[in-house]
Amino acid sequence: MIAYNTKWLDNLIVQNEANSASEKGCISKEENATIQQQYPVGFYMPNPFVRIGLFILTVIIAFFSFGLISLLFISGGNENLGFLSIFFGVITYIMLEIMVRSKNHYKSGVDDALMWMAAAFIITGLNFIGNLTSVNNAIIVFIIAFYFTVRFVNTIIAAVAFLSLLAIVFLSYLKLGPVAKATTPFLLMLITSMLYFYFKKQLGMKQWKYYTNCFTIIIIAALVCFFLEGNYFVVRETSNNMFNLNLKEGESIPYGWIFWLLTFFIPILYIFQGLKAKDKIVLRIGALLIVGIVFTFRFYYHVVSTEIAMTTGGVILIILAYALTKYLALPKHGFTAQLSSDKHFMDSFNIEAIVIAETYVAPPVAPTQDNTLFGGGSGGGGGASGNY
């Protein structure tokens, strides 16, 4: 199902692990160079600056081409423009397949741009043709994003698929009535937590090795969304604008104290859970969300100025980071702030065996002659002769 050459993807994983091992001193530079040669990758992968340039150039070319062709159909109304947009999206997708499978582009900027352009053209075209609701759009976005994630292993597209799935649940559940509106945050938190634990469990499994980055970005998105779904500011302002509560300044939503508790409790929970489970992602997200607590409180209670609030948030983060660094200067319960010195972290890829297999040269074996003569001694003891 993956469009890219899977053998090259495997080799790329080995190369990345070898580079990491070389940086940590687990293998020598010569051994790393040997691994890079023995596990070649034929993808076209330019540096980030070239990738950005190719992305922009591809988008410009696609838009200009679409604009030029659309001039011929502009008099036909939105329906003709919609069909043209879908047609152009299909052509863009075909070009994407060609660039990936024939030209071996991998995260080159060209394939990224074609992927986004194909999705944008198709979604825009469908909206031109029919009056699509928000739920319909969320479903279409999810289907396209899910397919592109599976096909092209794109991390940002994976995050879009995750968010569009939550949007489907959110928009569909709201139609069930007032009770649904009141319980929407809790439903979203439940679904988000379930997805988080599912992808957390799948992360690192061999059958999903190509999707490690996709699962990681989904886990990060789930952690952030779980906080936002219980954040007092998000819940209050969303409810006020979407459900026409007409709350005045200083008025709270029903059971607002629950969301205040969640706003303060979730980031702290992340930090403790990150320390307990030795999970750097959860720990870092929790530390960053401390700023969310400060700004949420500052929005409704103007105790200090914005500058002081920002400074306070920064000071809290600095103190927290310093305290954690000092606390973890020496390993605590298997968790440390020091650079990992584990020389066996690459055992799953068997790098040592790769190094031995690819750098070992067998000693030369002396050639044997078929007509070897064993002397021809004239003495007894076996009757050996010159023509033995």
Predicted confidence pLDDT, tens digits, the chain (388 residues): 899 999 999 999 999 999 888 888 888 888 889 999 999 999 999 999 999 999 999 999 999 988 888 887 766 677 888 899 999 999 999 999 999 999 999 999 999 999 999 999 999 999 988 888 999 999 999 999 999 999 999 999 999 999 999 999 999 999 888 888 889 999 999 999 999 999 999 988 888 999 999 999 999 999 999 999 999 999 988 888 888 777 777 778 888 889 999 999 999 999 899 888 888 899 889 988 988 888 888 788 776 676 776 777 678 778 877 887 777 677 665 566 555 544 433 343 344 444 444 444 444 444 444 444 444 444 444 444 455 4
Say if CB 317 and CB 291 are below 8 A apart: yes
Overall domain count for the chain: 1
12 part of a folded domain: no
C-alpha span between 334 and 141 (Å, rounded): 42
165 part of a folded domain: yes
What is the model's pLDDT at position 71? Answer: 81
Helices (H) and strands (E) in the chain, counts: 14, 0
76 part of a folded domain: no
180 part of a folded domain: yes
210 part of a folded domain: yes
What is the model's pLDDT at position 242? Answer: 83
C-alpha span between 199 and 263 (Å, rounded): 24
C-alpha span between 388 and 384 (Å, rounded): 6
Instruction: Supply 127's token pair.
Output: 């909206």
33 part of a folded domain: no
* Element (DSSP H or E) covering residue 65: helix 48-70
Closest of 141, 135, 132 to residue 160, by C-alpha: 141
Domain, as residue range, for 151 = 136-223
On the 0-12 / 13-18 / 19+ scale of CB atoms within 10 A, 178 is: exposed
On the 0-12 / 13-18 / 19+ scale of CB atoms within 10 A, 3 is: middle
44 phi and psi angles, rounded to 5 deg: -90, 110
End-to-end distance of the chain based on CA atoms, in angstroms? 68
Instruction: Supply 234's token pair.
Output: 């998000």
HSE, CB side, 13 Å, CA atoms: give it for residue 332.
12
Secondary structure of residue 44 in the 3-state scheme:
strand
HSE, CB side, 13 Å, CA atoms: give it for residue 115.
28
154 part of a folded domain: yes
In 231-305, alpha helices (H): 232-242, 256-277, 280-300
Q: What's the full length of the chain, in residues?
A: 388
304 part of a folded domain: no
Cβ atoms < 10 Å from Cβ of 104: 17
305 phi and psi angles, rounded to 5 deg: -75, 165
Instruction: Supply 154's token pair.
Output: 């794109």
Say if CB 349 and CB 25 are below 8 A apart: no
